Amino acid sequence: MTQVDGAAVRLKGEADEPGWEVDPDDDWGVAVVATVGRQLKLRREAVGMRAAEFGVAVGYGEDLVYKIESGKRIPRPEYLDRADEVLGAGGLLSAMNEDVKKVRYPKKVRALAEMEAKAVEIGVYECNNIHGLLQTPEHARALFDVWQPSYSPHEVERMLAARMARQAVYEREPAPSLSFVQEEATLLRHIGDTMARRRQFERLLEVGHLRHVTLQVMPLSSGPHPGLSGKIELLKFADGTAVGRSDGAFSGRRLTDPKQLRILELRYGTVRAQALPPRESLALIERLLGET
């Protein structure tokens, strides 16, 4: 607590904002956060504000201000916006949010998000979990909470933010074409409490009714199909190139070879043909929602 105009004000500390440490193995991320921190410090000193005084103005504790300025903590968007206002930066500090937003996420996740953001077509078959682009925050958190070895609370928050940020793909203009095939078993598994399950089914129905999205379910009653060896992902780009990934024969590695991509396309096309049509798939999800 600190006193501001005679009133007690609680300033934010690390416990209030978990999961915002810089990944030391992410060279680009380390450089971005160090640069942002240096700019914040220079502007603060240029207007003659001490760290403690500045912290009160933006609502943060002095220790957290020092950590952000030294490049040890990733500033949240509201921190940069408030700092821009307090220091009279004319939008220059707020503009850094674009790069800082990317640093928040693990390097591997960031690379995937960047590809999804550029793709004009995305096709996914998922047999183990509901795909990340379809998950609610509650569903994703429940999965992260049982991961072994366990994620720390900070890591969970960072992974959750990254997964939810990827769903900005639905808001792109022009919208990409997205198709999903989910094994029915992924819908029947109890992830989270009853309300979390209901929200997840509602989210699937919401996404499944979007004009540029096709959502299908592979029923438990289906016979053998090419997806039984594992997940399939295909991303196609405006320049005609593509990237794919598949478990099983391709061991989950990234594929760009045209011959291997044709094999994935054949497998994915066969999986889609054997799955329930979109209308029947959504009807099945509505039934599961009603039974939850």
Record the pTM: 0.72
Give pLDDT tens digits for 24-73.
777 888 899 999 999 999 999 999 999 999 999 999 989 999 999 999 88
Q: What is the pLDDT of residue 77?
A: 86
On the CB side of 7, how many CA atoms lie within 13 Å of its CA?
A: 5
Taken in order of first residue, the domains within the chain and their CATH numbers are: 2-103 (1.10.260.40), 107-291 (3.30.870)
Element (H, E) at 286: helix 278-291
Phi-psi label, residue 5: left if phi above 0, alpha if psi -120 to 50, beta otherwise: left
Which residues are within 8 A (CB) of 224 and not within 5 positions of it... i.e. 6 or more apart? Answer: none
Question: Most distant CA pair in the chain: distance in Å?
Answer: 72
Can you tell me the distance from the alpha carbon of 202 to that of 138, in angstroms, rounded to the nearest whole number?
13
Residue 5: band (very low, low, confident or very high) from pLDDT cuts 50, 70, 90: very low
Average pLDDT, the chain: 89
Cβ atoms < 10 Å from Cβ of 273: 9
Can you tell me the distance from the alpha carbon of 203 to that of 195, in angstroms, rounded to the nearest whole number?
12
What are 148's two structure tokens? 């072994």
What single string gives the DSSP state of each residue in 56-112?
HHHTB-HHHHHHHHTTSBPPPHHHHHHHHHHHT-TTTTGGGHHHHHHHTS-HHHHHH
3-state SS assignment for residue 145: helix
